[in-house]
Every structure is written in C-alpha cells, then in structure tokens.
Amino acid sequence: MELTWHALALLAVVALVAGFLDTLAGGGGLLTLPALLLAGVPPLAALGTNKLQGSFGTGMATWQVLRRRRVRWADARWPMLWAFLGSAAGSVLIQFVHADDLRVIIPVVLACIAAYFAFVPKAHEPPGHERLTAAPYEASVVPAIGAYDGAFGPGTGSLFAVAGVTLRNYDLVRSTAAAKTLNFATNVASLLVFALAGKMVWAVGAVMIAGQLVGAYAGSHVLFRVKPIVLRVLIVVMSVGMLARYLMG
C-alpha cells in the first residue's frame, strides 16, 4: 500500500511522541496503533507494523539502560529469553484464536494497572522484601506477561514495572528500566511471528522507526532524572487513556 508523504510524516511524529512516552511509562501503542489504522493500514498489518516500529523504540531504550549500566546484561539476558519465548507463544496463539472472545482481558488488565498506581499507598515504592525469587519469577511471571504482549499488548511495560516492584522489590525507576529490556524481547518475538505471517507494511514501519528511535533516546535520558511519583502518575494517565481508547474503539 502507498501513503502520501504528509501521512508518513505525521506517522513519524506520532512514533516520536510514542517512543518518548513508552520509555517512561508504557502505552506508546495508544498513539501508534490508532494512527496506523486511521492511515488506512489493515488491522492485522497494523498490529505487525506497530510491533516493527515499537521494537526499535524499546531496542533504543534497552541499549541506553544497558550502556549506562542501569540494568546489567548478566541480570537481563535470562529474563529477556523467557519474555521472548512467552511472547512468541502468545503471537502464534492469537493467529488461531478468535481475538474477540478474549478481548475482555485487555480492559481488565488496564483497569487493574491504573487502580493499583492510583489507589494503593506508596505503590511506587518496593515492599521491603522479595515476594518471589529470581528463578521462579523469570520462569513464570515474565513469560506470562510476554504471552499477553504477544497476543494483545496494551499495558505490557506497565505490567512488567508493577511486577518488578511488587514481586522483586525493585524501586519503580529500576523496575521501569528493567521493563524496557523485557518489552524489547517481547516486541522482537512478536515481530518475527507477524513478519513470517506476512502481516507487515515495511515502508510505513521504516518511517515510524526513525521517530521511535529519537523519542526513545530522549525518554531514556529523562527516565533516570524523573521522580518515581511522576512515573506513577504517568502510568496511571497512560493506562486510563488506553482503557478509554479501547472502550471507545
């Protein structure tokens, strides 16, 4: 399919803003997926193209947090593998399952994320002890969230952030940084499945990649300067925004 140059330019700007917000709080797909659909990209191709451009945004954020040693590669590699496997399974499953029968999951997930950060006192602070050690967390919680991202997607970064705080005793900034690496792995896995299924508009994705790279680069530099309470508010706003957009759509 072909789009006009100004439509492509608008998609690049949307991707830039989405990459910035996604790095801080998740929810960039709230902007990019509707933009792709409004531009006339077919739904399944829009999902695949969204994964294509989103992978570069999370890839940039991952490279930045690893390069700046906010997350250690030794700590990230095995969780990323589990996230990749979970996402690949979810992406394959959704090709054969009638998605309309399962979409009740999305508003429930988004509502729970928003409610947790909005109403739980000190939700942005770790509980003071691990509720789940690394090995069982990586082999169960991480691939489960990965499967959700492969099949559906909205709120995945926030889910990883919540899980890191509540189960692994990470502070919110550290958990959000770790979530970037996991979200990159889930995006790549889903991207490969959609690409093999032929659900991709490469030219549109290439334009949006440029915007994602710039936005994610800027967001990764802001992430470690922002106060946790600000991240908490951003996560609530993005989750409520995704929920509203989903219910209206």
In sequence order, the 6+-apart residues with CB closer than 8 A to the CB of 233 are none
Q: Tell me the three state secondary structure of residue 120.
A: coil
Higher pLDDT, 102 or 222: 222
Torsion angle of C-alpha atoms 74, 75, 80, 83, degrees rounded to 10: 150
Q: How confident is residue 80, by pLDDT bands cut at 50, 70 and 90?
A: very high
Residue 249 has a pLDDT of: 63
What b-and-e string marks burial along 231-241, b requiring 16 or more CB atoms within 10 Å of the CB? bbebbbbbbbb
Mean pLDDT throughout 230-242? 82
How far is Cα 71 from Cα 101, in angstroms, rounded to an integer?
38
Q: How confident is residue 1, by pLDDT bands cut at 50, 70 and 90?
A: low
Q: Is the separation of the CB atoms in 183 and 160 below 8 Å?
A: yes
Residue type, 74: A
pLDDT averaged over the chain? Answer: 88
Least confident of 57-66, 67-76, 228-237: 228-237
Q: How confident is residue 182, by pLDDT bands cut at 50, 70 and 90?
A: very high
The CA angle 28-32-165, to the nearest 5 degrees, is: 15
Residue 98 has a pLDDT of: 65
Residue 66 has a pLDDT of: 95
How far is Cα 77 from Cα 48, in angstroms, rounded to an integer?
25
Least confident of 30-34, 89-93, 135-139: 30-34
Q: Tell me the three state secondary structure of residue 103.
A: coil
Q: Is the separation of the CB atoms in 196 and 44 below 8 Å?
A: no
pLDDT at 128 over 80: yes
Residue 212 has a pLDDT of: 96
Q: Which residue shows structure tokens 């789940």?
A: 132
Nearest to 95 by CA among 205, 198, 242: 198
Mean pLDDT throughout 217-230? 87
pLDDT at 121 over 80: no
Nearest to 48 by CA among 208, 211, 238, 249: 208
How far is Cα 155 from Cα 109, in angstroms, rounded to an integer?
8
How far is Cα 25 from Cα 237, in angstroms, rounded to an integer?
9
Residue type, 191: L
